[in-house]
Structure 1
Amino acid sequence: MKNIFLFCDAGMSTSLLVSKMRNVAEAHNVEVQIQALPFAKSFEIIENGQADCILLGPQVKFLLKDIEGKCKEKNIPLDVINSAHYGTMNGEKVLKQAIKMIRENQNK
């Protein structure tokens, strides 16, 4: 089971996207746990090694540099969700992005 975390300002705006991602994962029998949390929780999640992938909401992409180093230390792939995919709440494309990041990280 892979753990995917989405961080945004308060963790609320990504909740709908997480729901859509979960629906896609369930429909395709992809075993993942997906959570939306406020960015303030990101350091705790990274330090505990709980994440297999971290995605930032476009509204907090300016915080990417703040956690980039910690993610590299823990070998956790990190990226910003595509604004168009976020805006349209395209759970399938965001889930594919996360799975691709996890696979590429495993193949390093």
Structure 2
Amino acid sequence: MAETTIMLACAAGMSTSLLVSKMQKAAEAKGVDAKIFAIPASDIDNKMASEHPDVLLLGPQVRYMEAQVKGRVSIPVAVINMQDYGMMNGDKVLTSALDMLD
């Protein structure tokens, strides 16, 4: 299977970087070839063009942007489950991202 690119966007891109490392560990454990990175929500359009992600996950703090972003991009978009985000549950967030691609 080809590498899956998962982009996470939150208010500033900081809180999500810890979640990215946990998701990468989960991907390695599952043998999933994934490129996972976090950006500030203000960079979504730029990164869509340069990184061509397969799926976009929004941090709970920018959930208000979901409809607007879905209208601009042609990939699956979802808001990260608040509980999984709070617990930094990389495995669950990774699984939900991969499920969006099926």
Shorter-chain TM-score range: over 0.9
Partner of 1:65: 67
TM-score by length of 1: 0.88
Look up the equivalent residue of 1:14 and give its one-letter code: T
Q: Distance in 1 between matches of 2:34 and 2:56?
A: 13
Between 62-71 and 52-61, report the one with greater CA deviation.
62-71
What SS is found at the alignment partner of 1:4? strand
Partner of 1:80: 79
**Where in structure 1 do 4 or more consecutive aligned residues deviate above 6 Å?**
none
Q: 1:11-55 CA distances to partner (integer Å, 9 max, x unpaired)?
A: 001000000000010111100100010001101223446110000
Q: Distance in 2 between matches of 1:64 and 1:27?
A: 30
Q: Distance in 1 between matches of 2:51 and 2:23?
A: 22
Partner of 2:23: 21
Answer yes or no: is 1:90 the counterpart of 2:92.
no
What SS is found at the alignment partner of 1:21? helix
Answer yes or no: is 1:30 the counterpart of 2:32.
yes
Unaligned runs of 5+ in 1: 104-108
Look up the equivalent residue of 1:58 and give its one-letter code: P
TM-score by length of 2: 0.92
Percent of pairs with identical residues: 45
What SS is found at the alignment partner of 2:45? helix
Q: Distance in 2 between matches of 1:18 and 1:25?
A: 10
Cα-Cα RMSD: 1.1
Query: Alignment partner for residue 8 of structure 1, among 7, 10, 15?
Result: 10
Query: Alignment partner for residue 52 of structure 1, among 45, 51, 54?
Result: 54
Unaligned runs of 5+ in 2: none
